[in-house]
């Protein structure tokens, strides 16, 4: 019996095409939205039950997704609160009227009201991106409620009639249109569920799957296995980021890491994020082991909102220099289905960004203070993050300068302060600046390194692609320090305090050799030094001024600084 026919309110003629084309560029999102709604409805009935406002059996609360290839339908069923015909009119017919918002109002004193996903009141209509016709069969939890059915063919006309559901909850039935038949393939649905629903807080079942189970022993005493059909539950409803750090051990963090990235090596360490003021955010960030620094594996952080996967494009939320980290961030305060430009302008997003920077800096500082040796051992992996962070984020540099390490050719580690202390006595030039020497190619520059070491100078190893920028950054940050490559014309210009070094050539001989070389090179940009300190050392060094070499290098790199 038709109870009511009517038109969907609020200028639907205009909204439908927008939903279909622009709001969700990705059609697969419909499943995320409908499964999220089913989870919401389930969380609500749990909530009512725990508040004593619903006293019947909750029953098996899993959400079931099923595909009927013949009928060309996808059905999403839940045992949540359901809807009365009145509620359908209110929550479904009035697009952009979010029932969740009202629910939140009503239960805002409830502790975990924020488990209720969705605030936009648009999600349901994403069904029309893939379906010509959508049907709702629902029975409200309320005492004496009658089952109701709603059907709509994507025009602004809908129909509400008596429904057929006998148990509390809702079925959403999508009649998939011909352009979207890919969604009738099981593997496609499995793939979408894996992507968006993997960590939803209520069990989600999609058909069954076969697995092998131990089945007694054979004659040799070996365990036998049999193939059994089990429910295919696609999600882990209690991922570690929803727990307290105190409940977790290292193994939990490592297991979760491998659940996220099955092929990755163990991470170096991790940071458990957990804030509730001034915004809500939980998550675990892992520092991966980088096989080499060219292998920048970006976009590995997954963003969730109340355990629903949103995106792995976290560009504006995570500072640029931490894009190499792995892990998850979950925040109900990050708007879901909104545009990039909105994200950039959102003030919560900015706060989240600086919070993450601070947390990472604190964690690194803690690791450094707790066990310096272990920190040094990891330096070849974490140094890249720290240097990159120091260059790109002033706030990070301010914290990182205490645990930023420099390494020398003897593989010793020094903080910035320690290093200055170490070299300032010997390595000072006539202008009173402390000169740090470095090599970016220890093999090619070996002769120069050896000369420097003989003079008791120290030579830093700065050979990563990032070090060019890092050196320039340090020069602007460190007072009265200049940083020169070991083959720059600098070794003999430092104030040499050690007179015990004996020269092989007399001064006269040296001058003659110098003249010969200068004539041969005939280039005023190069300078020649003759002063072999011992017989096994090169007596002549030809050097170019540091600034000149840097200019040339930059020109070669295409003008990049």
* Residue 475 three-state SS: helix
First-to-last C-alpha distance (Å) of the chain: 75
Using CB under 6 A as the binding rule, whether residue 118 contacts ligand ADP is answered as yes
CB 49, CB 31: distance < 8 Å: no
CB 326, CB 400: distance < 8 Å: no
From the list ligand ADP, Mg ion, none, which binds 235 (C-beta under 5 to 8 Å, kind-based)?
Answer: none
Q: Which of 211, 212, 250 is nearest to 233 (CA)?
A: 211
Interacting residue with ligand ADP among 24, 30, 54, 124 (CB under 6 A): 124
- State in angstroms the smallest separation of the CB of 351 from Mg ion: 26
Please list the residues that pair with 7 across neighbouring strands. Answer: 157
Interacting residue with ligand ADP among 28, 33, 115, 330 (CB under 6 A): 33
Nearer Cβ to ligand ADP, position 80 or 332?
80
Nearer Cβ to ligand ADP, position 196 or 257?
196
Q: Which two tokens stand for residue 513?
A: 């050799």
- State in angstroms the smallest separation of the CB of 113 from Mg ion: 15
Size of the site for ligand ADP (CB under 6 A): 23
From the list ligand ADP, Mg ion, none, which binds 119 (C-beta under 5 to 8 Å, kind-based)?
Answer: ligand ADP
Size of the site for Mg ion (CB under 5 A): 3
292 assigned to a ligand binding site: no
Tokens 């990039």 map to which residue? Answer: 340
- State in angstroms the smallest separation of the CB of 471 from Mg ion: 52
Q: Residue 333, CB half-sphere, CA atoms under 13 Å: how many?
A: 17
CB 240, CB 284: distance < 8 Å: yes
Please list the residues that pair with 158 across neighbouring strands. Answer: 6, 152
Tell me how far the alpha carbon of residue 343 is from its chain's centroid: 16
Q: Residue 378, CB half-sphere, CA atoms under 13 Å: how many?
A: 20
DSSP 22-33: II-S-TTHHHHH
Q: Which of 554, 545, 527, 431 is nearest to 488 (CA)?
A: 545
Segment near Mg ion (CB under 5 A); pick from 120-128, 304-312, 354-362, 365-373:
120-128
Nearer Cβ to ligand ADP, position 202 or 404?
202
Distance of alpha carbon 148 from alpha carbon 304, whole angstroms:
33
Interacting residue with ligand ADP among 29, 45, 67, 100 (CB under 6 A): 100
Interacting residue with ligand ADP among 98, 353, 357, 420 (CB under 6 A): 98
Q: Which of 417, 258, 374, 426 is nearest to 327 (CA)?
A: 258
Interacting residue with ligand ADP among 41, 308, 317, 390 (CB under 6 A): 41
How many CB atoms are located within 10 Å of the residue 44 CB? Answer: 22
369 assigned to a ligand binding site: no
283 assigned to a ligand binding site: no
- State in angstroms the smallest separation of the CB of 66 from Mg ion: 20
CB 70, CB 164: distance < 8 Å: no
Rg (CA), the chain: 33
Nearer Cβ to ligand ADP, position 23 or 471?
23
Spell out, one character per residue from 34 to 63, where the chain touches Mg ion: x when CB under 5 A holds, - when not. Answer: ---x--------------------------
Using CB under 6 A as the binding rule, whether residue 170 contacts ligand ADP is answered as yes
47 assigned to a ligand binding site: no
Tokens 């970016």 map to which residue? Answer: 440
182 assigned to a ligand binding site: no
Distance of alpha carbon 451 from alpha carbon 532, whole angstroms:
9
Interacting residue with ligand ADP among 12, 115, 123, 280 (CB under 6 A): 123
Distance of alpha carbon 366 from alpha carbon 358, whole angstroms:
12
Using CB under 5 A as the binding rule, whether residue 118 contacts Mg ion is answered as yes
98 assigned to a ligand binding site: yes
From the list Mg ion, ligand ADP, none, which binds 81 (C-beta under 5 to 8 Å, kind-based)?
Answer: ligand ADP
- State in angstroms the smallest separation of the CB of 111 from ligand ADP: 20
Q: What is the 3-state secondary structure (H, E, C) of 117-137?
A: CCCCCCHHHHHHHCEEEEEEE
From the list Mg ion, ligand ADP, none, which binds 331 (C-beta under 5 to 8 Å, kind-based)?
Answer: none
Interacting residue with ligand ADP among 19, 65, 67, 83 (CB under 6 A): 83
- State in angstroms the smallest separation of the CB of 239 from ligand ADP: 22
Interacting residue with ligand ADP among 67, 80, 334, 449 (CB under 6 A): 80
From the list ligand ADP, Mg ion, none, which binds 383 (C-beta under 5 to 8 Å, kind-based)?
Answer: none
Contacts of 133 (CB under 8 A, 6+ apart): 151, 152, 153, 154, 174, 175
Distance of alpha carbon 561 from alpha carbon 557, whole angstroms:
8
Q: Write out the residues near ligand ADP by the rule CB under 6 A.
A: 33, 37-38, 40-41, 78, 80-83, 91-92, 98-100, 118-124, 170
Q: Write out the residues near Mg ion by the rule CB under 5 A.
A: 37, 118, 123
Binding residues for ATP: 33, 37, 78, 83, 98-99, 170, 340
Binding residues: 33, 37, 78, 83, 98-99, 170, 340
């Amino acid at each position: 019996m038709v109870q009511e026919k009517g038109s969907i309110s609020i200028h639907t003629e205009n909204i439908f095409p927008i939903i279909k084309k622009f709001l969700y560029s990705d059609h697969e999102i419909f499943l995320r939205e409908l499964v999220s709604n089913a989870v919401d409805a389930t969380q609500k009935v749990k909530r009512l039950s725990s508040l004593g406002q619903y006293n019947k059996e909750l029953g098996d609360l899993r959400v079931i997704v099923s595909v009927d290839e013949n009928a060309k339908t996808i059905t999403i069923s839940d045992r949540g609160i359901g809807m009365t015909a009145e509620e359908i009119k209110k929550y479904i017919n009035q697009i952009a009227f979010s029932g969740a918002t009202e629910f939140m109002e009503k239960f805002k004193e409830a502790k975990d009201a924020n488990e209720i996903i969705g605030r936009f009141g648009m999600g349901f209509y994403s069904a029309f991106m893939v379906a010509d016709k959508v049907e709702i069969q629902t029975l409200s939890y309320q005492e004496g409620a009658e089952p109701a059915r709603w059907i709509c063919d994507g025009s602004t006309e809908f129909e509400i009639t008596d429904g057929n559901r006998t148990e509390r909850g809702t079925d959403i039935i999508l009649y998939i249109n011909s352009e979207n038949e890919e969604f009738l393939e099981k593997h496609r649905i499995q793939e979408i569920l894996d992507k968006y629903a993997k960590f939803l807080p209520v069990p989600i079942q999609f058909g069954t799957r076969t697995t092998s189970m131990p089945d007694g022993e054979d004659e040799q005493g070996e365990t036998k296995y049999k193939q059994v059909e089990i429910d295919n539950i696609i999600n882990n409803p209690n991922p570690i980021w929803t727990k307290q750090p105190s409940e977790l051990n290292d193994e939990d963090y490592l297991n979760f890491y491998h659940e996220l990235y099955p092929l990755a090596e163990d991470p170096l360490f991790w940071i458990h994020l957990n804030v509730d003021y001034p915004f809500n955010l939980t998550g675990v960030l892992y520092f991966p082991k980088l096989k080499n620094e060219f292998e920048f594996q970006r976009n590995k952080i997954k963003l969730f909102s109340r355990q629903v996967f949103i995106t792995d494009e976290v560009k504006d939320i995570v500072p640029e220099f931490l894009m190499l980290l792995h892990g998850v961030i979950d925040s109900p305060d990050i708007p879901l289905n909104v545009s990039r430009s909105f994200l950039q302008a959102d003030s919560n997003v900015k706060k989240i960004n600086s919070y993450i920077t601070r947390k990472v800096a604190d964690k690194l500082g803690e690791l450094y203070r707790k066990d310096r040796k272990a920190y040094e051992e990891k330096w070849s992996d974490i140094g890249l993050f720290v240097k990159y962070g120091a260059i790109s984020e002033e706030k990070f540099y301010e914290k990182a300068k205490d645990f930023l390490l420099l390494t020398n050719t003897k593989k010793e580690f020094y903080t910035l302060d320690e290093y200055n202390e170490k070299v300032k006595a010997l390595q000072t030039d006539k202008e009173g600046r402390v000169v740090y020497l470095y090599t970016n190619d220890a093999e090619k520059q070996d002769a120069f390194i050896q000369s420097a070491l003989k003079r008791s100078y120290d030579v830093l190893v700065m050979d990563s692609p990032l070090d060019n920028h890092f050196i320039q950054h340090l020069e602007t940050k460190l007072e009265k320090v200049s940083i020169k490559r070991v083959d720059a014309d600098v070794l003999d210009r430092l104030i040499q305090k050690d007179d015990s070094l004996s020269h092989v050539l007399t001064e006269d001989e040296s001058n003659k050799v110098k003249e010969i070389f200068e004539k041969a090179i005939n280039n005023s940009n190069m300078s020649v030094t003759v002063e072999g300190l011992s017989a096994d050392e090169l007596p002549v060094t030809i050097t170019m001024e540091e600034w000149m070499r840097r200019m040339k290098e930059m020109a070669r790199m295409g003008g990049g600084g």
